[in-house]
Amino acid sequence: MGPGRGRTRQTEIYLRGLGGERPAVPVQLADLQEAARRTLGAAEFAYIAGGAGAERTLRANLAAFERVQLVPRMLSGTKERDLSVELLGQRLASPLLLAPIGVLESARPEADLAVARAAAAEQVPFVFSSQASVPMETCAAAMGAAPRWFQLYWSSDDEVTRSLIRRAEACGASALVLTLDTTLLGWRPRDLDLGSLPFLRGQGLAQYLSDPVFRSRLGQAMPLPSVRPPVTPQLLSTAAQLRAKGKTFGLSLKEMQRAAARFTATYSRPDLGWDDLDRLRGWTRLPIILKGVLHPDDAREAARRGVDGLIVSNHGGRQLDGAVASLDALPDVVAAVPGMPVLLDSGVRTGSDIAKALALGAQAVLLGRPYVYGLALGGEAGVRAVIQNLLAEFDLTLGLLGVGAAREVGPQHLR
Ligand SMILES: Cc1cc2nc3c(=O)[nH]c(=O)nc-3n(C[C@H](O)[C@H](O)[C@H](O)COP(=O)(O)O)c2cc1C
Ligand SMILES: O=C(O)C(=O)c1ccccc1
């Protein structure tokens, strides 16, 4: 892809600035996060920004990127950069995807729908979360032919799991991401101290509330908020207003807590094992990607089981506190599964971070919290601005490294 074609260049952003135009969202990461903090309620910000335990892994993810050092090459004679990469037989416009993020209504009522539109406009694949606030069908319909994947939490009810997979296929998802690190929800002190877990208040349930199998098998026992599909942004903002008044879809606190306990017992299966993967293989022809792999032996087992790809991730430091930083875990995982696509998330914040992950063997990266801050600040336009800034910086990084294409970044660019 040549300069300026379908993507924002760093020069364009500078030129806007020289014309006196301020960026739609802060370019500096700390300012982006701080602006989002001021916009959001305390509980919402805590949930999005927070990590597990003492947040050691949350910090380690960032520290790992601080330590890796790039070594640029001079006089490479390259002029144009090709950001595209090949992944699972598909061509991605750049080695960037939007990570699955649950409960996006905690950032803004349009939630997943605004992110879907931004992702489509910027040609960045969006991984729909199982814990989304807008049903996948609504997001898919807003994306045209733009690429989307589906992230699965394996429900304790296999029929619910299979129904979600069928819907993802029907929605045009081109891969299934099975998240392995959240079969139990992490210990989240910020949420605990605020007495607030957004999803326990009935948020982030749109995939389930819109699922016929979930409703018929588990709906009665739950008791479910009385939301009928399609869950529209309007409906969500009504729900937000209700919650602000201390009512949750007309349910009392006790009823809501019972529903929440039931939900946590349902959304995932803590006893998921390797043999379950063989069954999953039989349920879908979509490529299966495991998210949350950090140990090379798990990577090797995944390869033996016919898995198509891995995402090296610690869930953005939200699950096992003390877990190894994703970037530190990456090289051993890559070495363990030659030829298998390995992606990375957790701590990607800048264009040069993308280059570091590629240099250490990742095929692509997923962006987490920064796009949620963009969503909080500016809805669809805010998400687009975050993506544009990141990709413009990545493009510039390639130029300064002296490479003409994203796929050429390798260990030769590391100290
Ligand atoms: C608020 C929030 C909600 C998340 N929800 C999900 C989810 O529903 N499914 C999932 O697989 N990962 C989820 N994640 C993890 C992200 O997919 C990703 O691994 C993580 O955000 C990457 O770290 P980063 O935020 O430091 O970039 C969530 C992360 C955040 C911050
Ligand atoms: O908060 C999270 O990180 C997450 O993945 C999740 C898990 C279950 C319900 C909602 C979000």
pLDDT of residue 230: 40
pLDDT of residue 3: 41
pLDDT digits (tens, 9 = 90+) for 11-68: 899 999 888 998 999 999 999 999 999 999 999 999 999 999 999 999 999 999 999 9
Most informative mutation of 153, 181, 199 for ligand 2 (most atoms within 8 A of CB)? 199
- Ligand 1: atom nearest CA of 181 is 11
- Ligand 1: atom nearest CA of 99 is 17
Cα 315 to middle of ligand 1, angstroms: 5
Please tell me what DSSP assigns to residue 315: G
pLDDT of residue 30: 98
Encoded tokens for 211: 């699922």
Query: CA 326 → CA 28, 78, 205, 313, 323, distances in Å?
Result: 23, 31, 28, 5, 9
Q: Is the CB of 177 under 6 A from ligand 2?
A: no
What are the DSSP calls for 64-118, one per residue?
A: HHHH--B---S-------B--EEETTEEESSSEEEPP-S-GGGT-TTHHHHHHHH
What are the DSSP calls for 119-149, one per residue?
A: HHHHT--EEE-TT-SS-HHHHHHTSTT--EE
Residue linked to tokens 């807003």: 142
pLDDT of residue 195: 86
Question: Does residue 235 have a pLDDT over 80?
Answer: no
Residue linked to tokens 């993507």: 7
pLDDT of residue 265: 80
What are the pocket residues of ligand 1 if the criterion is a CB atom closer than 6 Å to any ligand atom?
47-48, 61, 99-102, 129-131, 151, 179, 291, 313, 315-316, 318, 345-348, 367-369
Task: State the average pLDDT over residues 289-307.
Answer: 98
Q: How far is the C-alpha of 356 from the C-alpha of 65, rounded, in Å?
A: 7
Contact yes or no for 122/388 (Cβ under 8 A): yes
pLDDT > 90 in the chain, percent = 79
Contact yes or no for 62/30 (Cβ under 8 A): no
pLDDT of residue 302: 98
Residue 125, C-beta contacts closer than 8 angstroms, at least 6 positions apart: 92, 97, 98, 119, 146, 147, 148, 149, 174
Give the ligand with the smallest distance to the CA of 376. Answer: 1
Residues belonging to the active site:
315
- Ligand 2: atom nearest CA of 267 is 8
Task: State the average pLDDT over residues 279-307.
Answer: 98
Q: Whose CA is nearest to atom 10 of ligand 1?
A: 100
pLDDT of residue 331: 99
How many Cα atoms sit within 13 Å of 270 on the Cβ side? Answer: 5
Question: Does residue 193 have a pLDDT over 80?
Answer: yes
H/E stretch holding 357 reads helix 351-359
101 is known to lie in a ligand binding site: yes
* DSSP three-state, residue 409: coil
Cα 270 to middle of ligand 1, angstroms: 18
- Ligand 2: atom nearest CA of 268 is 8
Whole-number CA gyration radius for the chain? 21
pLDDT of residue 221: 58
pLDDT > 70 in the chain, percent = 89
Task: State the average pLDDT over residues 306-318.
Answer: 98
Cα 49 to middle of ligand 1, angstroms: 10
Contact yes or no for 236/105 (Cβ under 8 A): yes
Q: Whose CA is nearest to atom 11 of ligand 1?
A: 179
Q: How far is the C-alpha of 17 from the C-alpha of 39, rounded, in Å?
A: 24
Q: How far is the C-alpha of 347 from the C-alpha of 262, rounded, in Å?
A: 32
Q: How far is the C-alpha of 7 from the C-alpha of 388, rounded, in Å?
A: 7
- Ligand 2: atom nearest CA of 315 is 3
Question: Does residue 231 have a pLDDT over 60?
Answer: no
Most informative mutation of 185, 188, 315, 319 for ligand 2 (most atoms within 8 A of CB)? 185
Q: Whose CA is nearest to atom 5 of ligand 2?
A: 102
Cα 72 to middle of ligand 2, angstroms: 39
Contact yes or no for 360/328 (Cβ under 8 A): no
Domains of the chain, by residue range, sit at 10-187+269-413
Chain centroid offset of residue 325 CA: 17
When the pLDDT of each residue in the chain is averaged and rounded to a whole number, the result is: 91
Question: Does residue 124 have a pLDDT over 60?
Answer: yes
pLDDT of residue 2: 39
Query: CA 297 → CA 69, 124, 192, 270, 320, distances in Å?
Result: 27, 31, 34, 20, 18
174 is known to lie in a ligand binding site: no
Contact yes or no for 126/172 (Cβ under 8 A): no
Please tell me what DSSP assigns to residue 218: I
Encoded tokens for 289: 């990607």
User: Do strands 96-98 and 90-92 pair parallel, antiparallel, or not at all (unpaired)?
Assistant: unpaired
Cα 312 to middle of ligand 2, angstroms: 17
Residue 290 pairs in a beta bridge with: 178, 310
In 230-325, alpha helices (H): 233-244, 253-267, 274-283, 296-304
Give the ligand with the smallest distance to the CA of 373. Answer: 1
What number does CATH give the domain 10-187+269-413?
3.20.20.70
Encoded tokens for 232: 């529209």
Question: Does residue 226 have a pLDDT over 50?
Answer: no
Cα 18 to middle of ligand 1, angstroms: 35
Answer whether the bond into residue 125 is a cis peptide, omega within 30°: no
Confidence bin at 213 (pLDDT 50/70/90)? very high
Q: Is the CB of 103 under 6 A from ligand 2?
A: yes
